[in-house]
Amino acid sequence: MPKKSKILVCTTAKPAEIVKTLPIKTKAGVGRRIVTRLGPGETGLSPLPDLRPGDELKVLVELAVTTDCRTIAQGDCVKQPYAYSPRVHARLLLADSPTAKAKKKGHALLLAEETATVTQDQHHYVFVLEPPPVKIRDGWPGENFIIVALDASHRGAKRNHVLLIGANEKGDVRQDMARINIARLRPGDDPPPTATTVKTLGTSRLPLTKEKKVLFSVPLEDLAKDEQLVVGAMVEASGSGLPYKARISTRLVLADSPTETDTGKAARKIDALKGEIAEHNGTNCIPGGTVRVRKVGVLRVTRNAAGMHYVNLVAESADPVEDRIDKSLKLNRGSLTVTRYPASWKG
């Protein structure tokens, strides 16, 4: 008798961040902290998938960080200002303990790591960690946590120099800009679903007016209760011709139309997270440079929904310093991919 394939997606509760600031140290690896975690009691979607030998675990993470202000004159310092560019190291772990911050044989598996230098001009940086699926081996512990641990360093670091886990806002840290997503696949004999990918941009330019634009849209007909989606997107923006930096912010939503820039009224009723597939976050594009924005997310349908809905990648841009609106940000290329798992696969 054919063996049915099973999948269960899950994501962190809101907000996903568990600290507001990370001390910057003079040496790399010092002062490492857990900044977000997915485990029992920390999920926005129940149940949290169990793991058995032979399961394949896909982890998708977005985490936004921000440098503190450059000078006190800026007026929005969280701690003490600094002018340097800290080096930030992110580690993604699958562990049997909620406090794991490094790999440990038999207890904490390193899934991915990334190091980035976050400049004051760039100001914001979004870590997107998307390692290959990991196969669960015999003997792996029963209780599991997905952990993102960070450390930040610079030789000029002083006391009260911090990296913000989120974004700056009037001397405080605005959060709800991070998410850990997982998809646990229990392989059977079913052929994998075919992913849908679109690559034609809805617009080639973003005005610096904070006007939201749909860059890509994937239609989904007659979504059924217990269907699950795994979503990934990318867009490359160029600062060519810009005399000043421009912020680009993006999000993934489930919408009621291909032009809708927010979660749809009907779509909010069929998803436990009210149609929000990935958080709203972003970074600065520097004059003459390019920035590659990536988005990842999952969705679990909770009610039948006749008709059409759409996964939309939405973006906006602005001058983050002086609010000038005389230019626009050029978009070079990108894509949006949606994999739709049938309701019969839930489990």
Does residue 107 fall inside a structural domain?
Answer: yes
Say if residue 249's pLDDT is above 80. yes
CA distances from 5 to 28, 55, 134, 142, 187 (A): 43, 10, 17, 21, 5
pLDDT of residue 67: 98
Does residue 191 fall inside a structural domain?
Answer: no
The amino acid occupying position 3 is K
Say if residue 194's pLDDT is above 90. yes
Say if residue 2's pLDDT is above 90. no
pLDDT of residue 142: 75
What mean pLDDT do residues 157-173 have?
Answer: 96
pLDDT of residue 26: 98
Does residue 328 fall inside a structural domain?
Answer: yes
Could you say which DSSP state residue 105 is in?
A: T
Local structure of 161: helix, strand or coil: coil
Say if residue 141's pLDDT is above 80. no
pTM for the full predicted model? 0.95
Tens-place pLDDT, residues 74-121 = 888 999 999 999 999 999 999 999 999 999 999 999 999 999 999 999
Please tell me whether residues 169 and 221 are part of one structural domain: no
Could you say which DSSP state residue 329 is in?
A: E
- Which of 3-12, 132-141, 153-162 is predicted with the least confidence, judged by mean pLDDT? 132-141
- Beta-carbon contacts of 73 under 8 Å, excluding residues fewer than 6 positions away, are none
Please tell me whether residues 176 and 257 are part of one structural domain: no
Spatial CA neighbour of 271 closest among 9, 62, 51, 7: 9
Band (pLDDT 50/70/90 cuts) for residue 139 is confident
Domain end among 186, 214, 240: 186
Say if residue 191's pLDDT is above 90. yes
Could you say which DSSP state residue 72 is in?
A: G
Say if residue 308's pLDDT is above 80. yes
Does residue 85 fall inside a structural domain?
Answer: yes
Please tell me whether residues 205 and 333 are part of one structural domain: yes
- Beta-carbon contacts of 65 under 8 Å, excluding residues fewer than 6 positions away, are 22, 88, 118, 124, 125, 126, 127, 150, 163, 164, 165, 166
Runs of H (alpha helix) within 121-164: none
Say if residue 177's pLDDT is above 80. yes
Please tell me whether residues 268 and 220 are part of one structural domain: yes
> What percent of the chain shows pLDDT beyond 90?
93
Say if residue 340's pLDDT is above 80. yes
Please tell me whether residues 22 and 71 are part of one structural domain: yes
Spatial CA neighbour of 228 closest among 69, 45, 52, 28: 45
Could you say which DSSP state residue 346 is in?
A: B
> What percent of the chain shows pLDDT beyond 70?
100
pLDDT of residue 84: 98
Domain that holds residue 30: 6-186
- Beta-carbon contacts of 231 under 8 Å, excluding residues fewer than 6 positions away, are 252, 277, 278, 295, 296, 297, 298, 299, 311, 336, 337, 338, 339
Please tell me the distance from the alpha carbon of residue 246 to that of residue 239, in angstroms, as a whole number.
Answer: 8
| Residue that has been written with the tokens 């949006």 in this structure | 336
Tokens for 343, please give them: 């309701």
Could you say which DSSP state residue 345 is in?
A: G
Does residue 263 come out as left (phi exceeding 0), alpha (psi in the -120 to 50 range) or beta?
beta
Say if residue 140's pLDDT is above 90. no
Residue 250 belongs to a domain with what CATH number? 2.60.120
What strands lie across the sheet with 305-318, from one edge to the other? 213-223, 305-318, 246-255, 276-285
Domain count for the chain: 2
Tens-place pLDDT, residues 325-337 = 999 999 999 999 9
Please tell me the distance from the alpha carbon of residue 181 to that of residue 230, in angstroms, as a whole number.
Answer: 9
Please tell me whether residues 133 and 267 are part of one structural domain: no
Please tell me whether residues 165 and 33 are part of one structural domain: yes
pLDDT of residue 345: 97
Does residue 227 fall inside a structural domain?
Answer: yes
Say if residue 166's pLDDT is above 80. yes
Band (pLDDT 50/70/90 cuts) for residue 143 is confident
Domain end among 158, 186, 214: 186
Does residue 203 fall inside a structural domain?
Answer: yes
User: What end-to-end distance do the CA atoms of the chain give, in Å?
Assistant: 19
Please tell me whether residues 215 and 165 are part of one structural domain: no
Strand pairing class (205-207; 228-238): unpaired
Tens-place pLDDT, residues 12-30 = 999 999 999 999 999 999 9
Please tell me whether residues 85 and 120 are part of one structural domain: yes
The mean pLDDT value of the chain amounts to 96
